[in-house]
Every structure is written in structure tokens, then in C-alpha cells.
A and B are shown apart, each in its own frame.
Chain A
């Protein structure tokens, strides 16, 4: 027996999923289906697109139109889907490696165009699937299998990156703040334009072990302690000292790409 939501939106014959015990990815996928349910989207009008990685396995478990693509290219495929069928709600589920390393250029250009795609990056600060190599979001001097003496690269703030590149909606929440995460995903999907959500995940198997972050429970507690809601931070800045802010970080609707493209088509049709 399953919960109604799982029965309604997941492919039960594909479950249990392959994610490790206590991996945050399962909590984030749950938040995505709650958001879709709250928005009452027609599942036939939803297309989930992913790349390659543990996080990108999500598309295989979700009972919508789904497209599991190649590493880093989810946004390129998603752009094609959206251009050909602009009435679809295109949602990209991806990892920090998938979106910001090999897929970094696709991210900035999709954001720059403000194409109506919601990108949700499951950020576990590591390459999980391939065994714990450091990613562009691995914090400075943290450890990975490819950074045995500490990672000397500075890390990306994915939300700043997306905003700087032109996303019209940007939000962040964590697997611990799962209620708020679903709300942010709802707002992101509702924005007609490029929306970026950093869903902070936890990888107890690689990032956790390499960095002595404790077990899955401990890692959830760390997310609880390390992140503070932007509404609280605005009222009482002292409570945000040394912490990372989550919530709706940017919401500035702009003209959308497929609309602008359609206008050109309409104009040319009139001329001929």
C-alpha cells in the first residue's frame, strides 16, 4: 500500500528507488509531486526532463511525460521540448554536477533567454553517481575522492549564478525544509519564464562520509541548523549570522522566450 500522492504521480513498478538510505533526493522528489498536486496541473501537460546522475534518476520514477537525457544536456533537450510544445509545463530535475559543471553553459543561456522552464537542481555538493568527485558546489577545502587534500576551487552560489544569467525567478530550500521547498517549487512553476530552484540535498554516502558529516539523520539536522528562512533573516538579521538564506530570493517576471518567438511567427504569417 502507498500514499495517495505516490499512487497518483509515481511509477510504483519502478520503486523502491535506487537512492541510498537517507539520501535527500527522495525528499526533494516528494516535494516536486506535492507542488504539482497543489497546482492541480494536468499530468498530461507536464514534461519532466533530466540529465545523468543520481538526482537525474528522478524522471524515471515520475508518472508524467518524461525524458531522461545525457549528462549536462537536460536543459538543451528541455529547450527543444518547450519550443515545440510551448503549452507544456517543462520541469528539469538535475544535479549540481549536471547543471553547473558539464551543463553550466546550458544553464546560463536558458536563464538568459528567460524560456519558461523550471529547473530544480538537487544540490548535494558532490558527484554522487560516479563516486564522490568534487563538483562546482563543493565548498572550498571540503573533501571529495578527487580532492583528497581539500578542494582548492571556490564554489558557485547557484542562485546567484542563475540570477546573474537572467532567470526571472530564483529560490532555494533544503530537503529538511521540505514544506517550504514545495511552496517555492509551486511559485517557480507558476512563473512564466526561466525559474531556478536550488534544492539543497544530502549525500550521506559520499559527501557525508568524505567530510565526516555523520549519518543521514545528522545531515538532515545540519540542514536545519545551517539554513535560515529569508523572512526570519529580514526581521532578525542576527539570527542569520553565519548561515545560508533560503526562500524566494528573486521574483521579477519578464517577457518569455516562446511568446516572443510566437510573435515573430504571427508577424510573418500576416505578411504572407
Chain B
């Protein structure tokens, strides 16, 4: 079995359009200084809506050890 997934961001590719913030069903994300910020990671349900909708591939789920 794979490791649990975690949400990651690549701020260098983020253009701050706000689409992920608007479509995250759990209000996990915010824009901070115009760029994506994972404000409430503990609320993330790993649904992948952000990754699906980000036009810039700047946010995504990836397997990672719990404590990383």
C-alpha cells in the first residue's frame, strides 16, 4: 500500500488566479501576498479538486510520509 497523500504547492508556478481557493470544498487554501498558501492543511480531505482545476500545475497531491 502507498503512503498517504499530502497537498503540495509550487509557488514559482502559481499565478494567484484563486481558482483552487474557490473550489476547495473544505476552505483549506488562501491567497497570501497574491500566491497560494495552504492555510489549514489539517482540514484537507485529499479530494484533489485543487489539482484538477489549477491551470498552472502549481498545487497537487503526492504520497509523502506523515511527518514530512
A215 to B55, CA, bound (A): 14
Q: What residues of A have a CB within 8 angstroms of the CB of B56 in the complex? A: 16-17, 19, 26
Closest to A30 in B: B57
**B19 at the A/B interface (Cβ < 8 Å)?**
yes
Instruction: Please report the number of residue pairs spanning A and B whose Cβ atoms sit closer than 8 angstroms.
Output: 71
A24 interfacial contact with B, CB 8 Å = yes
Question: Is residue A249 contacting chain B, with contact meaning CB distance below 8 A?
Answer: no
* A22-B55, A26-B57 as given contacts; A1 in contact with B10, CB under 8 Å: yes
Quick check: is A6 within 8 A (CB to CB) of the other chain?
Answer: yes
Residue numbers in B under 8 Å from A215 (CB-CB): 17-18
Contact of B15 among A22, A27, A175, A220 (CB under 8 A): A22
Distance in Å from the Cβ of B11 to the closest Cβ of chain A? 11
Give the most central of B12, B53, B55, B57: most A CB within 10 Å: B55
Q: Nearest chain A CB to B31's CB is how many angstroms away?
A: 11
Query: Which B residue sits closest to A25, measured CB to CB?
Result: B55
A115 to B39, CA, bound (A): 50
Cα–Cα distance between A253 and B60 once the two chains are bound (Å): 37
Which of A3, A4, A6 has the most B CB atoms < 10 Å from its CB?
A: A3
Across-interface contacts of B60 in A (CB, < 8 A): 2-3, 6
CA distance A179 to B51 in the complex (A): 11
Which residue of the partner chain B has the closest CB to A179?
B52
With A22-B15, A27-B55, A175-B55 already in contact, 13 other A-B pairs whose C-beta atoms are closer than 8 Å:
A1-B8, A1-B62, A3-B51, A3-B62, A4-B62, A19-B55, A21-B15, A26-B54, A26-B56, A26-B57, A215-B17, A217-B18, A221-B22
Q: Give me the interface of A with B, judged by CB distance under 8 Å.
A: 1-4, 6, 10, 15-17, 19-27, 30, 175-176, 178-179, 204, 215-217, 220-221
